[in-house]
Amino acid sequence: MKTRASQYGFIDLSMIFVLICIAVGVGYAMYNGGSLLGSSDVNNEQSNIGMLIANTHKLKGSSGYGASGTNLVPQLAAAKGLPNMTYSGGTLYNSWSGSVSVVSAGMSFVITQNGLPQDACVSLATKIGRGQKVSTSLNGGTSSSGEIDSATAAASCTDGNTNSVAWTSN
């Protein structure tokens, strides 16, 4: 009579291969997760700026947006016109904890985002001006009407979280 040999051990070789593949997949997902979240921040800010532009237009009266230099953030807060951004002590903050201002320029207004990383600066500068009647200024430079091309944005936006982008709209 032959006796059947019993298997000793917890996992066979094919199971080890499957576990290694799963570990590599999880590692890859964790490695690339940061860049995916960064892209999400840029998309959120693009949406926030669009909402700020639209809601600030609603504040315009026959004499414009008030005296030049007037902070419009409190008026937007009172009119429930602030997008899903951090609002503390009368100041708006973007996804990178930089301040966001909305200031009257008489018959127009200026939205400025500060503390932007280079990738966000380039993305927001190239996307916001498309199809909207806005002028864009990068890091205090000259203002350009309409779309900013990616080469100009890449040359103007610096490495680090020190970039600012300003949009002027009527």
Show the tokens assigned to 31: 């490695």
102/76 Cα distance (integer angstroms): 9
pTM for the model stands at 0.76
What domains can be seen in the chain, in order of their start residue? 41-169 (3.30.1690.10)
Please work out, in degrees rounded to the nearest 5, the angle formed at the alpha carbon of residue 40 by the alpha carbons of 123 and 108.
50
Q: How far apart are CA 113 and CA 86, in angstroms?
A: 13
66: left (phi over 0), alpha (psi -120 to 50) or beta: left
Asked if 166 and 111 count as a contact pair (C-beta separation under 8 A), the reply is: yes
Q: pLDDT tens-digit profile of 66-110? A: 999 999 999 999 999 999 999 999 999 999 999 999 999 999 999
